[in-house]
């Protein structure tokens, strides 16, 4: 059989019939008679190559070398595409003994479906570029029955928006399904693709191994989505060579296991930095150049994990020089500021530090007073001017009858909630007629609610909490009426 086929190449449609056992006995006998002759006069003389050139009546060795299985498949594909009838494209034709084609029973719609399926087999789902299938896959593909569902339809149905936004490969579906369990949506996958295209091509088993390791060291399930959106490359980082070494580095700084997950969620890019060439030099700089004590390193990094992944030398030098020149702050005070609130190294000088310093100046503070406040409560530099600092200052002066200098003794006042702490306690003592005349004691605002009730109000905690709730409801109702 193989020898005959090599000597007498069939037309594509005849080959399919022979492969699938579609020739009846009469056709088979006629074909054998045809194959048995070697006289070129009885062979078809109009054979042409796929390029339109006339072919020899006999197959030559040169032809065998040039036309392999893949080229032959391409020839069949070309022949089918050029066919005028969808039926001829969709199904190999049946021939009788006289080599006349039976009428196909394939409907037009079925023919279109099979045409699309054929094209899917010959085209990549990524970029629609033509590629060649191995023979085993070719045969399996052509023998698929009607119940087989094309993979393109599956991905289009499951992720329709994603299919429109990016060249989605069906091989990515298992990974997408797994990541969806962490709350990932199609819009998130688009962001991941735009940030790092290769992240969606990771084997699902590898991705699962890496994410499960992160969960095991304290990363919260709800934080996985945020981590992947900020650092999708993390799916490529191996557990043994990358993830474990960074986690070990954090533990070496004295950071507890309960806080490691929070650090990873806040700064997932630390996994892309070398421990020896980047992370350790940053820590050495904090100790040797900035002056942070080694026992405080863990605390500093927990407060601001981003400090590990920024140019700490530039951040420190620019802010140190600014605070020294602008306020005359001594170095030890600035080191205390960074230790208590290392986020200071991330704040913009023009849009963050300077406007707040100027506000404190505008309410009557001297540079030395500002240094005291910032050294004790560096968080002031992170508070909103219009929604936080200014309303608290006005309440301090107009309602509590205090001078601005009292803030140097009780800078904590600026960090307390005006609605939840300052106003309720002041009004509660006024309602009990226990508020002293003159400046209201800011010390009553510092302790816990329970201590406040025992030491200052002399009443039960429930009574105070009920009063505060009514006050909040009145404020909400008044705000609602204004908005209406």
The phi-psi region of residue 460 (left if phi > 0; otherwise alpha if psi is between -120 and 50; otherwise beta) is: beta
Q: Nearest CA to 382 among 416, 343, 420, 333?
A: 343
pLDDT of residue 243: 96
| 262-290 pLDDT tens trace | 999 999 999 999 999 999 999 999 999 99
Mean pLDDT for all residues in the chain: 77
How many other C-beta atoms can be found within 10 angstroms of the C-beta atom of residue 242? 16
| Tokens read off for 301 | 């990094």
| 435-464 pLDDT tens trace | 988 899 999 999 999 999 999 999 999 999
d(CA 169, CA 151): 9
d(CA 234, CA 268): 8
- Structural domains of the chain sorted by starting position, each given as residue range(s) with its CATH number in brackets: 2-148 (no CATH), 311-415 (1.25.70.10), 417-484 (no CATH)
State the pLDDT confidence band at 34, using cuts at 50, 70 and 90: very low
Higher pLDDT, 163 or 78: 163
pLDDT of residue 256: 87
**This model's pTM is above 0.75:** no
Distance between start and end Cα atoms, the chain = 90
d(CA 369, CA 327): 10
Contact 422, 395 (CB under 8 A): yes
Our CA dihedral for 325, 326, 327, 329, rounded to 10 degrees, sits at: -40
pLDDT of residue 475: 76
pLDDT of residue 152: 54
pLDDT of residue 480: 61
pLDDT of residue 33: 43
- State how far the alpha carbon of 420 is from the alpha carbons of 309, 397, 430, 465, 472, in Å: 36, 19, 16, 10, 8
pLDDT of residue 189: 93
State the pLDDT confidence band at 306, using cuts at 50, 70 and 90: very high
């Amino acid at each position: 059989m193989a020898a005959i086929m090599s000597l007498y190449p069939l037309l594509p449609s005849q080959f399919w019939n022979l492969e699938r056992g579609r020739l009846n006995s009469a056709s088979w006998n006629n074909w054998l008679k045809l194959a048995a002759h070697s006289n070129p006069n009885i062979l078809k003389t109009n054979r042409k190559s796929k390029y339109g050139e006339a072919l020899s009546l006999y197959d030559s060795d040169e032809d065998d070398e040039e036309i392999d299985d893949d080229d032959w498949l391409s020839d069949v594909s070309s022949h089918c595409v050029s066919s005028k009838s969808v039926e001829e494209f969709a199904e190999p034709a049946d021939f009788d003994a006289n080599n006349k084609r039976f009428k196909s029973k394939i409907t037009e719609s079925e023919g279109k479906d099979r045409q699309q399926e054929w094209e899917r087999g010959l085209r990549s789902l990524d970029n629609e570029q033509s590629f060649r299938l191995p023979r085993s896959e070719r045969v399996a593909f052509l023998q698929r029955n009607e119940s087989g569902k094309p993979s393109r339809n599956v991905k289009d149905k499951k992720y329709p928006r994603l299919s429109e936004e990016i060249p989605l490969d069906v091989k990515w579906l298992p990974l997408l399904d797994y990541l969806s369990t962490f709350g990932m949506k199609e819009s998130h996958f688009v962001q991941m693709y735009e940030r790092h295209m290769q992240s969606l091509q990771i084997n699902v088993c590898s991705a699962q191994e890496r994410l499960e390791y992160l969960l095991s060291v304290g990363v919260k399930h709800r934080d996985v989505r945020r981590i992947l959106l900020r650092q999708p490359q993390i799916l490529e980082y191996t557990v043994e060579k990358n993830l474990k070494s960074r986690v070990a580095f954090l533990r070496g700084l004295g950071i507890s296991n309960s806080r490691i997950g929070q650090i990873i969620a806040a700064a997932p890019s630390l996994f892309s930095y070398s421990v020896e060439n980047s992370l350790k030099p940053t820590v050495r700089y904090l100790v040797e150049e900035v002056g942070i004590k080694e026992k405080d390193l863990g605390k500093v990094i927990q407060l601001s994990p981003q400090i590990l992944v920024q140019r700490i030398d530039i951040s420190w030098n620019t802010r140190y020089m600014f605070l020294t020149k602008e306020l005359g702050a001594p170095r030890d005070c600035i080191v205390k500021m960074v230790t208590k609130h290392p986020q200071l190294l991330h704040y913009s000088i023009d849009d963050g530090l300077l406007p707040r310093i100027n506000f404190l100046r505008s309410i009557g503070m001297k540079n030395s007073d500002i240094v005291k406040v910032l050294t004790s409560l560096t968080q002031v530099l992170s508070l909103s001017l219009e929604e936080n600092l200014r309303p608290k200052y006005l309440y301090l002066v107009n309602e509590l009858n205090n001078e601005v200098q009292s803030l140097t003794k009780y800078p904590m006042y600026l960090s307390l909630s005006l609605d939840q702490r300052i106003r309720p306690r002041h009004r509660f003592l006024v309602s009990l007629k226990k508020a002293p005349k003159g400046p209201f004691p800011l010390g009553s605002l510092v302790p816990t609610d329970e201590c406040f009730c025992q030491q200052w109000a002399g009443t039960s905690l429930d009574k105070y909490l009920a009063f505060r709730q009514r006050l909040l409801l009145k404020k909400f109702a008044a705000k609602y009426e204004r908005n209406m």
